[in-house]
Chains A and B, each alone.
Chain A
Amino acid sequence: MAARPERRRKVALAGNPNVGKSTLFNALTGLRQHTGNWPGKTVGIAQGRVRRGREEFLFTDLPGTYTLDGESEDERIAGEYICSGEADCVVAVCDASCLERSLILALQVLERCDRAVVCVNLMDEARSQGVRVDLKGLERALGAPVVPTSASRDQGLEALLSAIGRVCDGAPQAPRRWEDPVRAAEDLGRACVAREKPPEGWRLTLDRVLVSRRHGIPILLALLFLIVWLTVWGANYPSALLERLFDGIYGLLAALMAPAPWWLRGVLLDGLYATSARVISVMLPPMAIFFPLFTILEDVGYLPRMAFLLDGAMARCGGCGKQALTLCMGLGCNAVGVTGCRIIDSPRERLAAILTNAMVPCNGRFPTLILLGSLFFPRMGAAVLVAGAVVLGVLGAMGASGVLTRTVLKNRESTFVMELPPFRRPRIGQILVRSLLDRTLFVAGRALTVAAPAGVVLWILANTPLLGLAAAFLDPLGKFLGMDGAILLAFCAALPANELTVPVLLMILTGGGSLQSVAGLGGEALLAAGWTWQVAVRVMVFTLFHWPCTTTLQTIYKETGSIGKTAAAFALPTAVGMILCLALRLVLG
């Protein structure tokens, strides 16, 4: 390949949340980057390259922001980057269907940059809403090229790139100054935007029903129940299939490794392989169902409405409606829920939300709840049991954050300001790819990196007297809490992934040397071990309230940057679980 001299240009994309900035970035660079239909999604700074002839553009997707002088983390990152002059050209991305509002930020960008392009995105959506934009007039008024695009349909991208190229090559644009960006945007909106039909339509009707007093909350609960039910019910079959597949591979590997010494076979096959296989087959299917479903809600724009509906309830425990969203994300995976807490504005509320997120059961804990529940309370269905556990977990998380925000994390003034973007049709293909790649595989990969070595340790423990010793050591504490040492040990061993709790417990109870040996076992082993329904209830409660898994702890450390706060996130749910179990022992006996 002939190495040609290339001109490299640094281009920054700036704009309000929800103007399709990340969609534009993805369409331009082809880099898969998660975009969602709710404010405050892009975090940190994503970059991607585009080649066009002899030019190379390095695009930086700045966090969505409403101002360049803001105080929140996202706003600061965006403002500082634009004012630093780091970029050769800044593209101010606007929403054609809501041009007046997006121009407030665009004008601030134009004031500060002498090489800028205004991209009027979502032209398709504006057209369908009957909004016409006078692009030529806008261009004259702004003194910068204005390019119309519909990023989700790949329209206008070529024109945008050539406009960026021309601006980079040309002379700096004349300095611009507006007395008051808000007023100037209003005037521009009046001059350049024409509405050909009233904005009413299916969107407003849908909105009226979904957030109405009578239907709002029932619809919300029904949707969540449906998602949980589909996850629980739908995961059974693929989980069993994966398990059978992994069993088959186990047989092949065992034959291959027959000449190896028994301990090597044990460590690699029964330890590393069996544990990893177990984690994948139990973890992957529910996440591969939950995340696409949840991403559909995100993509159509239902999540901000959910925050809107639940803010009243969350305000009572010192939080805001956005925390309700992070709790729901926690149902899929607490690590994802913790990351989602970035959308919460107040630092103290955000910390309270991070510390309590793990009290909502992620779907890795569903199997434990279902097994125990259906064994001891056979008349209730699996989905009802899980739903009950979820309600209990949510109440626990809300109660705990209520206590936190009234004591150590006392909040001066809690506010809730959230844009409700228009409903959009979900893009199913993109949803599948994004939710599977960005969330499911990412989380599963992270869990595997811990579960695989933990499997080795577990095997060594199980095949020496150490496991029995550890269980005996934990027994007094376990008994005190109304459980026993084996149960506590299983919870400890499931630190890499909650999916391991039941298999490890069965392994300890049956004295099996590996997870593979208990693959076919179910609840009979628990009944044989003399469990009563009271013990089962306490184990279910402790399943809800105990330390978060390593993936979640890692994420909490990354988000807070503090060992102390990570330790608090470990201790808080554990303390709640221990107190509840102790209380249950005293009450139920």
Chain B
Amino acid sequence: METSLDRLRPGSRAVVIEVNTPPALTRRLRDFGLVPGTAVRCRYRSPWGKVTALSFRGAVLALRTTDLKKIRVTC
């Protein structure tokens, strides 16, 4: 099933298909290793859901949930 990364429930896993964030953020995400094909897992959301912690490649990265809307995944 295709969806965007912000819809992922904490605990569930997905694989990135496409990263459509603004260029600067896309570059930063690439440096962290978040590119199409990366297997990610949604860890947890901040109290008001504004920030989401994702784990991939053995590390945990916190990102704004609005930015995750622009990352398409399949799960």
Contact = CB atoms under 8 A, between A and B. Distances in A.
B20 interface: no
Interface stretch (A112-120, A182-190, A533-541): A182-190
A183 B25 CA distance: 19
A208 interface: yes
B8 interface: no
Interface in A411-436: 413, 415-422
Chain B binding surface SS class: mixed
Contacts of A217: 47
Given A309-B46, A312-B46, A420 B60 contact: yes
A100 B47 CA distance: 30
Contacts of A420: 53, 60-62
Interface string B32-75: 11010100000111111111010001111111100100000000
Given A211-B53, A416-B51, A104 B59 contact: no
Given A311-B46, A311-B50, A420-B53, A415 B62 contact: no
A89 B41 CA distance: 37
A101 B31 CA distance: 9
A71 B59 CA distance: 22
Interface in A168-209: 182-183, 185-186, 189, 199, 207-208
A52 B54 CA distance: 44
B51 A182 contact: no
A207 B44 contact: yes
B47 to A, nearest CB: 5
A67 B31 contact: yes
Nearest to A413: B22
A421 B55 CA distance: 11
Interface residues of A, number: 40
B59 A98 contact: yes
A98 B47 contact: no
Contact of B58 (A66, A97, A308): A97
A90 B50 CA distance: 40
Nearest to B48: A312
Given A308-B46, A419-B61, A185 B33 contact: yes
Contacts of A67: 31
Contacts of B45: 213
26 contacts: A66-B28, A67-B31, A70-B31, A100-B58, A101-B59, A104-B33, A182-B30, A207-B44, A211-B46, A216-B47, A308-B46, A311-B46, A312-B48, A315-B64, A415-B28, A415-B67, A416-B63, A416-B64, A417-B28, A417-B63, A419-B59, A419-B60, A419-B62, A420-B60, A420-B61, A421-B59
Interface of A: 66-67, 70-71, 97-101, 104, 182-183, 185-186, 189, 199, 207-208, 211-213, 216-217, 304, 307-309, 311-312, 315, 321, 413, 415-422
Interface of B: 22, 24-25, 28-33, 35, 37, 43-51, 53, 57-64, 67
> Which A-B residue pairs are the 5 nearest by beta carbons?
A312-B50, A98-B58, A66-B31, A67-B31, A101-B57
